[in-house]
Amino acid sequence: MRDLNFVLGSKYDLRTKLILLIGANILIFLGFGLYYQSLITLFFIVIIISDGYKKSAIRYISFFVISVILEKTLTYINRNFIINLFLFFFVIGRKFLPCIIVGKWILNSTSSSLAVATLQKLKFSKDSLIMISVIFRCFPTIKDEWSHINMAMKTRGINFNLKNLLKKPLLILEYFFIPLFTSVLEIGDELSQSAIVRGLDAPVEKTSRHLTKFRKKDISVLILMILNLLIVILMKVSGWDL
């Protein structure tokens, strides 16, 4: 399966992914050692590989390895504020990488219709369904809008890059961010109206083309997630320094 913006044929149920996201958030705060971070990151990388996201897995592994190399290398040299700040972002990114992996996986493999169908099964309120539908549809729309703004500004000789961001912050704010924020507000209103027109708030039983159910892979992954949590918690209670 190729890495696409939306992969409708995901092998895992959305509820499984949400439980994994909660588990990832718990695990990252139970240990701080490098070996511990490596193991839990590898666990979630293996899961997304099993769903076909091999290219994403390679990028995550590369980031993890680079962050470790930089941390070990920069430890032995005299560091200034800029280097420390640069290293801080890499270390924090590596620490929260399991959550980033699962969160990005959810966004990339879940369409708005699948998210709504799953949340309807979980008995979410109508307001929540409209909000989540708008959020899932908003991200790709905002990405396209940013691309259009960036292309229009390039034709006028105004590029969005780090140099201009540091030297001409007001110019970048005026020509990039203000149009983007204005477009986002309009897009949000239009998507909310679209969700209402499609009957998301209608007081009737909804049907969906998506079949939401736990499969063998979901059950296997959830069992592994629970086992990992139990093992880590027992190790912490026993006095292990993770």
Q: Which residues have C-beta within 8 Å of that of residue 34, sequence separation ≥ 6?
A: 68
Long-range CB contacts (within 8 A, 24+) of 36-40? 36/242, 37/94, 37/95, 37/97, 38/64, 40/98, 40/228
> Residue 138: which of 112, 120, 115 has the closest Cα?
112
pLDDT per residue rounded down to tens, the chain (242 residues): 444 433 444 678 888 999 999 999 999 999 888 899 999 999 999 999 998 899 999 999 999 999 998 888 877 776 677 777 778 888 899 999 999 999 999 888 887 777 777 777 777 777 777 777 777 777 777 778 888 888 888 777 777 777 777 777 787 777 788 888 887 777 777 766 766 666 666 665 666 666 777 888 899 999 999 999 999 999 988 888 87
Coil, strand or helix: which one is 10?
coil
Q: What is the pLDDT of residues 144-190, one digit of tens each?
A: 888 888 888 877 777 777 777 777 778 777 778 888 888 777 777 77
The answer to whether 130 touches 201, Cβ cutoff 8 Å, is yes
pLDDT (0 to 100) of residue 164: 74
d(CA 186, CA 193): 11
Quick one: tokens of 66? Answer: 């680079």
Say if pTM beats, i.e. exceeds, 0.75. no
The answer to whether 21 touches 102, Cβ cutoff 8 Å, is yes
For 37-57, give the DSSP string.
HHHHHHHHHHHHHHTT-HHHH
The answer to whether 228 touches 27, Cβ cutoff 8 Å, is yes
Domain boundaries, the chain: 1-110+212-242, 123-209
Tokens 């979630």 correspond to 44
End-to-end, the C-alpha distance of the chain in Å comes to 35
The answer to whether 221 touches 16, Cβ cutoff 8 Å, is yes
pLDDT (0 to 100) of residue 27: 93
